[in-house]
Amino acid sequence: MNQDQLKTLVAQAALQYIEPGQIVGVGTGSTVNKFIDALATVKQRIRGAVSSSEASSERLRAHGIAVLDANAVESLALYVDGADEIDPHGCMIKGGGAALTREKIVAALAERFICIADESKYVPVLGRFALPVEVIPMAAQQIARRFAAHGGVATLRLQGGQPLRTDNGQHILDVTGLCIDEPLAFESEVNNWPGVVCVGVFAHQKASVCLLGTAEGVRTLRF
C-alpha cells in the first residue's frame, strides 16, 4: 500500500474508539482529513466535534457535522490527530500544518489522544522532522538564537514569499538539527521562553494510543 492508502486505513481504524453520543476532538492534516471523511459515515452516532483548525472545521461542516467551540466543552473522551513524528513512548512532534497551538488546546481537553499515522512517522528519537514552534513575530530572532544554543537552526516558515500566519495570527519557526531525547523536559523549557506561543513537542499531551499504518495492516501501540 502507498502512503495515502495507509492514511485511509488508520483513519478508518480510529472509528472503533468512538462511542455513541460523544463529542469528538478532531485534529488537522492530510491523515485527519481521511478521518473526517470516515467520521461522516457515522455522524449520526456523535453529538459533534471540537476542531483544531479552520480547515478542519470547514471540512467537518461540509459533511454536516456540528462544530462546537472548545469553550463550550468541559472535556472530551478522545482526540484524534496525526503526527509528524512519534517515538516509542507516545511523545510526538506536531505542527507541520501550522495548527499546533489549537491542536494542543484540544488535546488537553481529551481523556485519550488517538494518534493516526503511517509507519514512516515512527522514530526512535524525536528531531529528524523540523520542529515547528509558533512564536510572536517580535520575538522570532531571539528565539532562533536560543535554539542555536541547543544546536538547532530555526527558519521562518513562508507562504507565498511572506511569513506564514497561523489561525492565531502568529508566525512559525521550523527548527532542524535537534535531537529531542528528553521530550517532556524540552517542551517545558521551550514553553517558558518569552515569545513562544507553543512548541510542537507533544509530551505533556502525548498519545494514549497510536494506530500505525504498515504494509501488514494497522499496528496498535499503547502508551
- Please list the active-site residues: 103
Q: Does 206 show up as a binding residue in the annotation?
A: no
Q: Does 95 show up as a binding residue in the annotation?
A: yes
- Helix segments in the chain, DSSP class H: 3-13, 30-39, 54-62, 100-109, 140-149, 183-191
Alpha-carbon distance 90 to 113, whole Å? 10
Query: Cell 531525547 sits at which residue?
Result: 181
Q: Does 87 show up as a binding residue in the annotation?
A: no
Q: Does 25 show up as a binding residue in the annotation?
A: no
Alpha-carbon distance 176 to 97, whole Å? 16
Altogether, the residues listed in the chain come to a count of 223
Q: Does 31 show up as a binding residue in the annotation?
A: yes
Q: Does 96 show up as a binding residue in the annotation?
A: yes
Q: Residue 59 pairs with which residues in a beta bridge?
A: none
Confirm if 68 and 52 have CB atoms less than 8 A apart: no
3-state secondary structure (DSSP) of residue 8: helix
C-alpha cell recorded at residue 70: 472548545
Q: Does 213 show up as a binding residue in the annotation?
A: no
Q: Does 28 show up as a binding residue in the annotation?
A: yes
- Among 134, 96, 133, 91, residue whose Cα is nearest residue 115: 91
Q: Does 152 show up as a binding residue in the annotation?
A: no
Q: Does 27 show up as a binding residue in the annotation?
A: no
Give the number of C-alpha atoms closer than 13 A to the C-alpha of residue 144, restricted to the C-beta side.
15
Q: Does 7 show up as a binding residue in the annotation?
A: no
Q: Does 30 show up as a binding residue in the annotation?
A: yes
Query: Cell 485527519 sits at which residue?
Result: 32
Q: Does 177 show up as a binding residue in the annotation?
A: no
Confirm if 46 and 22 have CB atoms less than 8 A apart: yes
Taking residue 176's Cβ as centre, other Cβ atoms within 10 Å add up to 15
**Which residues are annotated as part of the binding site?**
28-31, 81-84, 94-97, 121
**Which residues are annotated as part of the binding site for substrate?**
28-31, 81-84, 94-97, 121
